[in-house]
Structure 1
Amino acid sequence: MKKFRDKDYLKSEEGFIFCVIGSIHPKDRSIAYLKYIPRKDGKWEGKEKNYKRIMRQYTMSNLKKTIQFLKDYRKYIYESKVLNIEISTVPLTEIKNHFKPEEKLKQISEEKKRDSLQQKCLDLARVISDKSEVPVDFFGVTGSILLDIHQSFSDIDLVVYGKDNSQRVKKTLINLYEENNNHFGRLASEKLNKWCEKKSNQFPISPEEARIMYKRKWDRGIYKNRLFSMSSVKLDSEVEIDYGDRTYQPEGLVKIEATVSNSTESLFMPSVYQLKNIEVLKGKKPEDIRSVVSYEGFYRDIAREGEKIKVYGKLEKVFDKQKENDYHRVLVGSFEAGGKDFIKPILS
């Protein structure tokens, strides 16, 4: 069976370019969102075509717009009986190209001629690899560089594969940000203020709350005056379930407060926080809520074990076919919540 991993990209016969979400997919298709479409006046210039970015911001409202666009191409709309929602997917029969971040970084390293952004991307990956002692084979590059449509304004979007590797890279980047004169930095002053204002407009948080979250977002930084991101993706051997092993039934919206009991899975897509000491503030009150799960990348790895968090999201009953039991979770990143859902650390 063809394997798809989070941050892979797929191009369809029409030239639509999709970004793969997560690493659990139906056998005959990949769950992915539409990010670029061919347009003559598009800002992202490829060797054969120009592209327009249709997924302008990583929010559920923007995702909903891409699905609305795809209504004219019904083969990419999928009614999932597992997730109980309508999602965008790419059927195997419609995939023209499958772009893999790890293969692209290897290709860049082997090329004799690289443009300045490709060189900076390779340098960045090698520095982080060297400092973290994670072999460079476990890194990749995604986004516009993966697709060869990057421009002078493009960021560098790296990927690290593996749970242990991700933890080592996280620790390394945090240390690099704290050092001086090593080409690594973070947003500050007016640029940080603008970032916080932007996030407060995109999500139901204040600029002050955005600032607190940014301090924790080790996966966003600056290298030699270029913005970069680092996404953590599980190895195939670390993906413990197949599509359909668990099914999800919506049960309305809830607001809860809880303590994070385990956050090791919060680095990945979707981000998972295991919970304890749960108090339901609003909505249905089941006694078996185990976790909060986020498909909003903004809430990736922003709460630590032992911390209290406030969450607003969609309550789902989970049926686990492997373990033959059921329980509840709270989902952040749903159409039902209308962009009002969140995860917020409660800091005293």
Structure 2
Amino acid sequence: MLRLKRFLLKDKDFLETDEGFFQVIGYVHPKDYIVCIPRYIKVNYGTYWFKSGFYYDRVLKRYGINDIISSDIINKYLIFDNNFDTYLPMININKIKKRYYTDDWASYSINKDLFKRFIEILEILTNKTSLPSYFFGITGSLLISLSNSIYSDIDIVIFGRRNTDKIKEVVLEENAMVKPLLFEIENEVAIYKSNLQTLKVIYNRKWYKCKFKGRYFSINPVKLDDEIKEKYGETKIKNISEIEIIATVKEIIENYFYPFRYSLKNVEILAGPFEKIEELTIYNSFYMDSLTTDDIIHVKGILRKIISKDKEYFDVAFGVREVKDQFLYIKSN
């Protein structure tokens, strides 16, 4: 049985407009707007993605930091947000023609071949974890009925932190992870603003990139309703300047849900203002669950002052639009 129909938009949901399909980013949105990124846009040439008489093309072939920042299509939707002190991709709610909720997948017309494989994976995960099926969902092209049986992956959603922990344990036990070849990792060094040593470590931790019966699939954690604590406007951010630091990860604050946050200790400032830096925040989904306690990291990003209802502090943000030559290295783990 599926859960009751919801109306609150969450990370990984999709929106359809006259221009194409957009993926919702995060859980905090300004009034009358939804922070989202264009994923598939209508085009006047033939592609692998066809629906209701229209061809669509992917906005990005990959999601490296520079790819996102330099995309003319994404930049078209940028609006400056005073609360976050940056430009965010977003659309007005009046432009939304249809909402696709990740946990309402049974309501949509889904690719039968891929859906069959999804059900097979779902049965394994539910049997191994004893989790009911309503804690699972679908995102990506399969959710919006734009998938291609040959080229599309299966993007599975799991709701809730504890449930994600259970799925992670099963995936590691089943040895379902996909580990790319060395030359593939080498090709991604520039894309993800890192180095070979760091990417090797990260890929060894990417339990959520998997393969089943020749089909790639991913696990995408999304918050349950009662895990969404923050409302728009409760936290204000002030960008200060570029900064470069070496630090040790003290504690994992948020490793599953975007954006990812880690508390830091032993912070050494190599360049930039000398402030007491408490956290690292990562704004790129590639780095989900990529760091762990006691990792020594070398980061260039932007120094920010965070003003929340409980406290004020400084963090370093990586994966941001403001720093063109940013990087994140794991020096020791």
Settle same-fold status: TM greater than 0.5: yes
Match of 1:227 in 2: 216
Aligned to 1:29: 33
* Alignment coverage as a number of residue pairs: 326
**Equivalent residue of 2:28, what SS?**
coil
Q: 1:64, CA displacement in angstroms?
A: 2.9
Which residue, 130, 137, 141 being the options, matches 1:140? Answer: 137
Aligned counterparts, 1:1-348, within 5 A: 3-12=8-17, 14-39=18-43, 40-66=45-71, 68-69=72-73, 76-104=77-105, 106-107=106-107, 115-151=112-148, 152-177=150-175, 184-187=176-179, 191-287=180-276, 289-320=277-308, 322-323=309-310, 325-338=311-324, 340-347=325-332
**C-alpha distance in structure 1 between counterparts of 2:213 and 2:243, whole Å:** 43
Is the Cα contact below 8 Å between 1:299 and 1:343 reproduced in 2?
no
Give me the identity figure in percent: 26
**Equivalent residue letter for 2:114:** L
Offset, 1:95: 0.5
**In structure 2, C-alpha distance between the alignment counterparts of 1:172 and 1:344, rounded to whole Å:** 29
Shift of 1:232: 1.0
Structure 1 residues 163-219: Cα deviation after superposition (integer angstroms, max 9, x where no partner): 111111111211111xxxxxx3523xxx52243023213023233432221011111
Kept in 2, the 8 Å contact 1:6–1:21? The answer is yes
TM-score of the pair, normalised by structure 2: 0.91
CA contact (8 A) 1:4 1:25 kept: no
Q: CA deviation at 1:306?
A: 2.8
Tell me the distance in 2 between the aligned counterparts of 1:157 and 1:171. 18
Distance in 2, Cα, partners of 1:255 & 1:134: 43
- Counterpart Cα distance in 1 of 2:260 and 2:74: 26
* 2:84 counterpart SS class: coil
Contact 2:282 2:319 in 1 (8 A): yes
Distance apart, 1:128 and its partner CA: 1.5
Whole-Å Cα distance in 1 between the matches of residues 332 and 116 of structure 2? 41
Asked whether the equivalents of residues 196 and 208 of structure 1 are also in contact (C-alpha less than 8 Å), the reply is no
Aligned AA (1:139): F
Q: Shift of residue 55 of structure 1?
A: 2.2
Note if contact 1:134-1:169 (Cα within 8 Å) is conserved in structure 2.
Answer: no
Question: Which residue identity is paired with 1:345?
Answer: I
Distance 2:297 2:129 in 1: 30
Whether the aligned pair in 1 keeps the contact of 2:171 and 2:177 (CA below 8 Å) is: no
Match of 1:181 in 2: none
CA offset digits 1:253-304 (Å, max 9, x no partner): 11222222221511111111122222212211102x2211111112211111
Instruction: Give the helix-richer structure, 1 or 2.
Output: 1
Distance 2:200 2:329 in 1: 12
SS of residue in 2 equivalent to 1:211: helix
Runs (5+) with no aligned partner, structure 1 = 178-183
Distance in 2, matches of 1:278 and 1:344, equals: 15
Shift of 1:2: 5.2
Q: Give me the whole-angstrom Cα distance separating, in 2, the residues matched to 1:53 and 1:140.
A: 22
**SS of residue paired to 1:4:** coil
CA distance in 1, matches of 2:78, 2:268: 37
Task: Give the deviation of 1:126 after TM superposition.
Answer: 2.3
Aligned equivalents of 1:171 and 1:71: distance in 2? 38
Which one-letter code corresponds to 1:272 in the other structure?
R
Aligned-residue CA RMSD in angstroms?
2.1
Distance 1:239 1:51 in 2: 33
CA contact (8 A) 2:195 2:329 kept: no
Contact 2:177 2:206 in 1 (8 A): no
- Residue 197 of structure 2 contacts residue 330 of structure 2 at CA under 8 Å; is this kept in 1? no
Determine if contact 2:125/2:167 at 8 Å carries over to the other structure.
Answer: yes
Distance change (3 Å), C-alpha of 1:165 and 1:17? same
Separation in 2, partners of 1:259, 1:225 = 39
Measured after TM superposition, the shift of residue 71 of structure 1 is 6.3
**1:239 CA drift (Å):** 1.4
8 Å Cα contact 1:162/1:234 also seen in 2: yes
CA spacing shift, 1:185–1:291, aligned 2, 3 Å: closer
* Per-residue CA distance 1:308-340 (angstroms, 9 max, x = gap): 2222211111111x22x31111111111221x3
In the superposition, the TM-score normalised over structure 1's length comes to: 0.87
Q: Compared with structure 1, are the counterparts of its residues 228 and 71 closer, same or farther at alpha carbon in structure 2 (3 Å cutoff)?
A: closer
Aligned partner of 2:3 in structure 1 is: none
Structure 2 CA distance for aligned equivalents of residues 217 and 171 of structure 1 = 12
